[in-house]
């Protein structure tokens, strides 16, 4: 909505300024203590009422050090289990297809059998720089980004190939129907089944995670500490600015039914749940 603010001047004249006010807001529901080992991504399991968490662990976020893993936490912020899966390097984006959890781990896509809590397959990516976000389409196509080589890869019927190239700053991905939504730096766009690019919005900061609201609008994060509401008409609202002091906002997940956003904060080692209003 717009607010009309009127200032009375000494001369008796008045000056009215229209100020833009956000039409959406985030209200904090819960937040963990600083006990999550550098969380980068979260993924909801609504049936089991948990979040999967990619945990980079101690050390360099790009190191091949086997300090990373996957954790779990209840959707009410309690019963945190770290290192449900251990021995990964620097796990980031998460995606799911049936009983399989897909994890982007620097230079390979790792597949985990959820029921048996066991790594069952790895897809090494030749020449990978830093594999980042993961999304799975309703047709079972797995897409994942490489932020350093500017590529998006795909897996179809267990076959790995490159889907797109030369996307500067590519990070967040979301597959919806025949479209793939992409964050590339400040650019938010989608490609259709024919890879035709359609612009959606320009973000104020470089994008990290994206999640659909369910009405054509999206939530997007910037790693530096921003959460944005992006309307389907391209309007961008800043819902959260925690860049100073820096509280990172990495790869999110969103419960469309309950309108709850789950946010990992990376170096701050916390997970926060927000109600979207």
User: Residue 179 and residue 192: Cα distance in Å, rounded?
Assistant: 5
Alpha carbon separation from 58 to 39, 68, 123, 157, 173 (Å, rounded)? 11, 8, 24, 35, 26
| pLDDT tens digits along 133-190 | 999 999 999 999 999 999 999 999 999 999 999 999 999 999 999 999 999 999 999 9
Per-residue confidence (pLDDT) for residue 170, from 0 to 100? 98
Residue 265 corresponds to which tokens in the numbers above? 């904060």
The CA-to-CA distance between both ends of the chain, in Å, stands at 14
| Contact between 220 and 184 (Cβ < 8 Å) | no
Q: What residue ranges define each of the domains in the chain, with the CATH number in brackets?
A: 24-276 (2.120.10.30)
DSSP 219: E
Q: Which residues contact 97 (CB under 8 A, 6 or more apart)?
A: 136, 140, 142
More confident position, 92 or 246: 92
> Considering the entire predicted model, what is its pTM?
0.92
Q: What's the pLDDT score for residue 73?
A: 98
Tell me the two tokens of residue 86. Answer: 């251990």
pLDDT value of residue 3:
39
């Amino acid at each position: 909505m717009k607010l009309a603010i009127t200032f009375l001047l000494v001369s008796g004249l008045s000056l009215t300024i229209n100020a833009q006010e956000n039409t959406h807001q985030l209200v904090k529901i819960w937040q963990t203590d600083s006990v999550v080992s550098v969380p980068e991504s979260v993924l909801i399991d609504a049936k089991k009422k948990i979040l999967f968490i990619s945990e980079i662990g101690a050390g360099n976020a790009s190191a091949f050090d086997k300090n990373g893993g996957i954790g779990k936490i209840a959707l009410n912020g309690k019963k945190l289990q770290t290192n449900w899966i251990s021995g990964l390097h620097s796990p980031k984006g998460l995606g799911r297809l049936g009983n399989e959890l897909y994890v982007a781990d620097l230079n390979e896509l790792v597949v985990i059998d959820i029921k048996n809590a066991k790594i069952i397959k790895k897809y090494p990516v030749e020449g990978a720089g830093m594999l980042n976000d993961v999304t799975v389409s309703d047709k079972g196509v797995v897409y994942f980004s490489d932020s350093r080589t500017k590529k998006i890869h795909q897996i179809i019927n267990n076959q790995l190939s490159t889907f797109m190239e030369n996307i500067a700053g590519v990070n967040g991905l979301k597959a919806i129907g025949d479209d793939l939504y992409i964050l590339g730096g400040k650019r938010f766009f989608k490609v259709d089944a024919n890879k035709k690019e359609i612009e959606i919005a320009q973000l104020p900061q470089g994008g990290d995670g994206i999640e659909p609201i369910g009405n054509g609008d999206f939530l997007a994060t910037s790693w530096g500490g921003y959460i944005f509401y992006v309307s389907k008409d391209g309007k961008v609202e800043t819902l959260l600015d925690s860049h100073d002091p820096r509280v990172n906002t990495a790869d999110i997940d969103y419960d469309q039914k309950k309108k709850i956003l789950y946010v990992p904060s990376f170096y701050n080692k916390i997970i926060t749940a927000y109600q979207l209003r």
